[in-house]
Structure 1
Amino acid sequence: MSSDSSSLHSSAVINEAVQALRDGGLVAFPTETVYGLGADAKNPDAIKKIFTAKGRPSNHPLIVHLAAPDKFDRAQIDWVPVLAPWVRDLSEDALKLINTFWPGPLTLVFKKDKSVLNELTGGQDTVAIRAPAHPISQALLRQFQGGIVAPSANRFGKVSPTSAADVRDEFDDVLDLMILDGGDCEVGIESTIIDLSSSDRAVLLRPGLITPSEISTKTGIKVYLPGEDAVSKRDAALPRVSGSLRAHYAPTTPLRMYASGRILDALSEFPDIKSQVAVAVWDSDSSLGEDGHPSVHFEEVIVPSDSTVFTSRLYRTLRDLDQQGWDLILFPEPPPGEEWDGVRDRLQRACFGSGPSFSNHANS
C-alpha cells in the first residue's frame, strides 16, 4: 500500500500510518537521508519484525527517530523533555549539537535511560537518536507522539533506498507494509553518527553529510576520529552503530574502485576478464579513451564531481547499475577531503560486500 505524492501530507494518510505503528506494524517512510523501515520504539515485537524483514543480526542497534518540538514563538526549542525518556544525561555539548543540527542528518549516541528496550540497542547501554528533517517524517513523528526506530528500508547489507519505488522493490513480498512516498531523498546517504556516550568527548562513528569541520565551525566542538591518540585507549569500548560492518550498502554485481587512470589495474583483479563493465567517470574528466581492453565492453556512466550532488545520487546510481546486468561496476576513488568521507566510507563497504557471495564476506 502506498500513498501517492499528491496526498503527501494528507492527515488521513499520516493517521493511517500512525495507526499501523500503534498496532505493531511496520511503516516505511522518507527521511532526508534514505528511506527508513519504522516501528514503535517501545514495542519489542514490532522491533523484532524489523530484524526479520531486513534479515538483520539482532545485536545490530537501531536509531530512534524523534519529532522536533513545536517552536511557536520561542527563540530556541527546548529539547530536554523530548530526550528525557531516552537518555541518561544530556551534556552542554550535546545540546549545542542538537540546537545547531536538529532536525537534520546527525545521529547522536548517548548512555540510554533504563527504560529503553534492549531489542533496539543491540543489548548495549547506549542509544542512538536523531530528529529527521523530512516534512513527512516530522509529520509522522509528531502525530505518533513517540519514538520510531527505523534502519534503512532494505535487505540487510544491500544498497539503501532513496525512493519509495526502491522500498517496494526490496519488500515486494511484505504485503501489509505501508510505504509513505516522499519523493527522492535529498541527502542520499545515511546520517553522520557522533558518540557522546562517554561524556568527555565527541567521537565520529560514521561519516555523513555533516562533517567534523562543519561541527567545529558552527559549535566549537572538536570531533575526534576513532584511533586518534586521545581516544584510542577506549576505542575498544566504542558503541556498535548502524552501518559499521565492513560489508554494507552493497550491490549484487561486483563493485570496485579505481585510481585515476588505472582502470586496467581494477580489472586485473578479475583474471577471467569480465566482458560487460560499467565504468563511472567524473563529469569533469575526458572519456576513457586509451584505457580500453580488447575483450571488454566498457560503458561510461557520467557521475557528478560535486560532492553533494554525487552523494545524493550514489545509491540511486548503484541500484540502477545493479539491475542492468553488468559483470562488473567500476567507480572512481573519491578525491581526498572531508566532504567526500561519507561516500568514501559507503563505497569501501559496498565494494567489500558486493558480488553474489556477499554472505561469505559477512561471516568472515
Structure 2
Amino acid sequence: MADDIKAVSTEVVPVDARQPEAAVIERAAALLRAGELVVFPTETVYGLGGDALREEAARRIFAAKGRPLTDPLIVHIAQVEELERVAAAVPERAQRLAEAFWPGPLTLILPRGEQVPRLVTAGLETVAVRMPSHPVARALIRAAGRPIAAPSANRFKHVSPTTAQHALADLSGRVPLILDGGPTPVGVESTVVDLCSSVPRILRPGGTSLEALRKVLPEIEPPLPPRTTASDKREREEGQAQRSPGQLLVHYSPTAPLLLFEGEDEAQRAALVAEALRRLERGERVGILAATEDREALRPCEEGGALVRAPASLEEPEKVAAALFAILRALEEAAVDVILCRSFRPVGLGLAIQDRLRRAAGGRIIRVDPSAGATEGVR
C-alpha cells in the first residue's frame, strides 16, 4: 500500500485548539470534500482523516500509513443524529453510552450502514464510530459535511502522535495538510466497546475507563489479554480482519526495543534497576520510563548515564497517559539502545497504559516474582 502514495508537499498550519479559526477549518474541510487527507487533533491523539463515505479516501489513508486493509478505521461524527448515516442500527445500549460519554474518547462497534464502504470496515459488517470532543475535530467534521474516517496519524505500528510534530515526522510528504492544535490532552486512543456481541466487551482500553463504563452498562466485560500463540499471531498479522483497531500483538512501538517489567512494585523496581545497570556497564544507551515513586531507586542509573523519564505518580494515570507516547518518541529520538519500562496499575486510565506498553513491548515482558526472581515471557 505504501507505494501507492504520491509525494506531496506537507504544510503545518496552526489552529486555535479552543476556538478554531473558520478559515483554517474550511481550508481543511475543502481538502476532505475533494477526497484528500488531513491530519487534525482530537482529544486522544492526532488523526489522519479522510471522507469516511468515499472508498478512494479510505484507500489513501491505508496507503499513507502503510496500514493493512485488515485493520479497520474508526468513523468520526460530530452529532448523534449522524449515526443514521454510518450505522444500520443503534441498539439501546449504544444510546445509553452515547448519552453518557459522547462527545469523548469512546468508540462503539455497531452494525455497518450501507453508505460506509467495506474498505473502511476491513470487509466486516460492523463499523467503529465515535464522536470526538476536541473543538478542532468537531468543527472539521461539521464543515466537511460528512463523517471522517481517521486512524492515528502515524506510520503503522509506530508510536501514536500526540503533537503535530509527531505526525509530521511520520507522514511528511504523504499528506497535504496538518492542523497543529498543540498537544492532545488525553494522550491515548479511545476505548472501543463491541456492541455487536451477545455481551458487550471492551476490545481496546482507552480514554474512557472500564469503571466509568460499568456505571452505565454494568454487564460490560473487560478486554481480553493479548493472545500470543503462534497460530493467533499468524492470524492477526497475516490477513484476518480485526474487529477493532489496536488488536495486534505488536503496536505503538518505538524503534528501540522496549522491555516491560511487571510484578509487585518493589520487586519490579529492583529488577528494572539491576537490568539498567547491567546494560549501562556494557556500554549501552538506556532509556527508562518510570513513576515518580521510582526516582530515588533510579538515581544510580541516572548517574550512570540512563535517560530517566518519570512523568507522574502511580496514583496519577491521567498524567502518565498524557505523556506516554511523547516520552517513547523522545527516548527513540535520543537514540537509546533499549527502553526499560515499569508497569502501571490497571485501574482507570492505567488499563489503557498497560495495554499500550504490552503491545509496544511485543512480548518482551519481564515478570518479576520475588520468590522465584525475574523471568522473561510472552503473555
Query: Taking structure 1 as the reference length, what is the TM-score of the superposition?
Result: 0.84
Distance in 1 (alpha carbons) for counterparts of 2:46 and 2:14: 16
Per-residue CA distance 1:184-228 (angstroms, 9 max, x = gap): 100000000000013x431110011212221122x2442113569
Deviation at 1:293, TM superposition (A): 11
Aligned partner (choices 281, 285, 299) of residue 307 of structure 2: 299
Determine the structure 2 residue equivalent to 1:342. Answer: 352
The answer to whether the 8 A contact 2:35-2:57 is kept is yes
Q: Which amino acid aligns with 1:194?
A: V
The answer to whether the 8 A contact 2:253-2:361 is kept is yes
Per-residue CA distance 1:127-165 (angstroms, 9 max, x = gap): 000000000000001111211000000000000000111
SS in 1 for 2:49: strand
Determine the structure 2 residue equivalent to 1:36. Answer: 47
Find out whether 1:14 has 2:22 as its counterpart: no
The answer to whether the 8 A contact 2:51-2:57 is kept is yes
Distance in 2 (alpha carbons) for counterparts of 1:272 and 1:209: 39
Deviation at 1:323, TM superposition (A): 0.1
Q: Which amino acid aligns with 2:105?
A: P
Determine the structure 1 residue equivalent to 2:204. Answer: 206
Determine the structure 1 residue equivalent to 2:343. Answer: 333
Determine the structure 1 residue equivalent to 2:245. Answer: 242
Deviation at 1:87, TM superposition (A): 1.2
Per-residue CA distance 1:64-87 (angstroms, 9 max, x = gap): 00012xxxxxxxxxx3x3211211
Per-residue CA distance 1:13-39 (angstroms, 9 max, x = gap): 111111101111000000000000000
Q: Which amino acid aligns with 1:203?
A: R
Determine the structure 2 residue equivalent to 1:26. Answer: 37
RMSD across aligned C-alpha pairs, in angstroms?
A: 2.7
SS in 1 for 2:13: coil
Deviation at 1:12, TM superposition (A): 1.1
Deviation at 1:339, TM superposition (A): 3.5
Q: Count residues with an aligned counterpart.
A: 332
Determine the structure 2 residue equivalent to 1:281. Answer: 290
- Cα gap change, 1:102 to 1:4, in 2 (>3 Å): same
- Cα gap change, 1:142 to 1:207, in 2 (>3 Å): same
The answer to whether the 8 A contact 1:275-1:297 is kept is no
Q: Which amino acid aligns with 2:206?
A: G
Query: Taking structure 2 as the reference length, what is the TM-score of the superposition?
Result: 0.81
Distance in 1 (alpha carbons) for counterparts of 2:52 and 2:201: 25
Higher mean alpha-carbon deviation, 127-136 vs 219-228, is at 219-228
Per-residue CA distance 1:245-273 (angstroms, 9 max, x = gap): 11000000111123222115656997994
Unaligned stretches of 5+ residues in structure 2: 1-10, 226-235, 262-267, 365-379
Q: Which amino acid aligns with 2:113?
A: D
How does 1:1-364 map onto structure 2 within 5 Å? Answer: 1-5=11-15, 9-68=20-79, 79=80, 81-174=81-174, 176-198=175-197, 200-217=198-215, 219-225=216-222, 240-258=243-261, 259-263=268-272, 266=275, 273=282, 275-288=284-297, 297-305=305-313, 306-352=316-362
Distance in 2 (alpha carbons) for counterparts of 1:108 and 1:269: 45
- Cα gap change, 1:115 to 1:272, in 2 (>3 Å): farther
Structure 1 segments of 4+ aligned residues over 4 angstroms from their partners: 236-239, 264-274, 289-294
- Cα gap change, 1:26 to 1:273, in 2 (>3 Å): same
Distance in 2 (alpha carbons) for counterparts of 1:352 and 1:154: 18
Per-residue CA distance 1:300-358 (angstroms, 9 max, x = gap): 2223111000000000111111100111111111124343110000001011189xxxx
The answer to whether the 8 A contact 1:33-1:189 is kept is yes
The answer to whether the 8 A contact 1:249-1:353 is kept is no
Distance in 2 (alpha carbons) for counterparts of 1:300 and 1:316: 14
Q: Which amino acid aligns with 1:247?
A: V
Distance in 2 (alpha carbons) for counterparts of 1:350 and 1:153: 17
Higher mean alpha-carbon deviation, 319-328 vs 2-11, is at 2-11
- Cα gap change, 1:5 to 1:192, in 2 (>3 Å): same
Unaligned stretches of 5+ residues in structure 1: 69-78, 229-235, 355-364
